[in-house]
């Protein structure tokens, strides 16, 4: 598995570090950690998919993104002292992570200065994604936002989101990720299905014409 935080290490170094991690398995729906929990570890996602979501000031749950194998999450909350989790992470399907404690992580930062570069890139990427979502929310119609989120999730389940890729995600999840309502997402997806670009199933969306889907999403 290619995790960015370990990308520059030799095989022996990677093996030594991974041998000190704790392998954890999660069933669909299991919470890996809650928003507000003490930040005591980071996770290397080895298998499965997880959702990242927050609770707004109005008490509503908003899904920010879905992560797949190779993702690293929870690392930014380890910076500084007495940090708390900024979001809740839940297993979308059967998932497996390698958990690295705060102590192990801090040793890694001292031992390998390149980890600081990874953290900087992680923070920069986080800011970039937030900026993109803000611009989309202000200037991109809901129709395109829904389809863009569908494409981003499809890339986790098939090579380049190719034809025939089955995306096991509900319309409610896509609506939340796109910052719109479920009825709006349903309307967008039904209209897209009528053109033969996708096929809707029970909790599954199949990509039939990925190139046309990207065009409809304005990508």
The first and second tokens of residue 161, run together, are 């989101």
Mark whether 148 and 131 lie in a shared domain: no
Mark whether 186 and 100 lie in a shared domain: no
Q: What is the DSSP letter of 37?
A: S
Helices (H) and strands (E) in the chain, counts: 7, 11
Mark whether 121 and 201 lie in a shared domain: no
Strand order in the sheet with 50-55: 31-33, 88-91, 50-55, 61-67
pLDDT digits (tens, 9 = 90+) for 6-35: 776 778 777 877 888 899 999 999 999 999
Mark whether 154 and 193 lie in a shared domain: yes
Mark whether 55 and 91 lie in a shared domain: yes
Mean pLDDT of 197-204: 92
pLDDT digits (tens, 9 = 90+) for 137-192: 788 899 999 999 999 999 998 876 677 899 999 999 999 999 899 999 999 999 99
Mark whether 9 and 115 lie in a shared domain: yes
Mean pLDDT of 192-216: 94
Mark whether 57 and 25 lie in a shared domain: yes
pLDDT digits (tens, 9 = 90+) for 63-117: 989 999 989 898 877 777 768 898 999 999 999 999 988 888 888 778 777 777 7
Mark whether 158 and 125 lie in a shared domain: no
Domain boundary, last residue among 90, 111, 137 = 137
Sign of the CA dihedral 35, 40, 42, 46? negative
> pLDDT at position 210, please?
92
Mark whether 20 and 93 lie in a shared domain: yes
CATH number, domain with residue 201 = 1.10.10.10
Q: How many domains does the chain have?
A: 2
Mark whether 124 and 144 lie in a shared domain: no
Domain boundary, last residue among 107, 137, 167 = 137
Domain boundary, last residue among 122, 137, 152 = 137
Mark whether 114 and 11 lie in a shared domain: yes
Sign of the CA dihedral 102, 106, 107, 108? positive
> 25 is in which domain, residue-wise?
4-137
CATH number, domain with residue 96 = 2.60.120.10
């Amino acid at each position: 598995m290619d995790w960015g935080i370990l990308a520059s290490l030799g095989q022996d170094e990677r093996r030594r570090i991974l041998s000190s991690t704790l392998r954890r398995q999660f069933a669909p729906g299991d919470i890996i950690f809650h928003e507000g929990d003490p930040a005591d570890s980071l996770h290397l996602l080895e298998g499965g998919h997880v959702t990242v979501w927050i609770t707004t000031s109005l008490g509503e749950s908003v899904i920010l993104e879905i992560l797949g194998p190779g993702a690293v999450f929870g690392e930014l909350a380890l910076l500084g002292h007495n940090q708390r989790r900024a979001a809740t992470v839940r297993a979308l399907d059967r998932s497996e992570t390698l958990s690295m404690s705060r102590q192990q992580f801090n040793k890694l930062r001292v031992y390998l200065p390149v980890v600081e570069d990874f953290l900087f890139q992680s923070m920069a990427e986080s800011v970039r994604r937030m900026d993109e979502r803000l611009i989309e929310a202000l200037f991109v119609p809901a129709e395109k936002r829904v389809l863009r989120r569908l494409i981003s999730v499809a890339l986790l389940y098939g090579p380049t989101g190719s034809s025939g890729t089955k995306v096991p995600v509900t319309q409610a999840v896509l609506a939340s990720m796109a910052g719109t309502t479920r009825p709006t997402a349903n309307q967008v997806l039904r209209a897209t299905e009528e053109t033969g670009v996708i096929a809707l199933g029970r909790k599954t969306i199949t990509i039939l014409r990925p190139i046309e889907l990207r065009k409809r999403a304005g990508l």
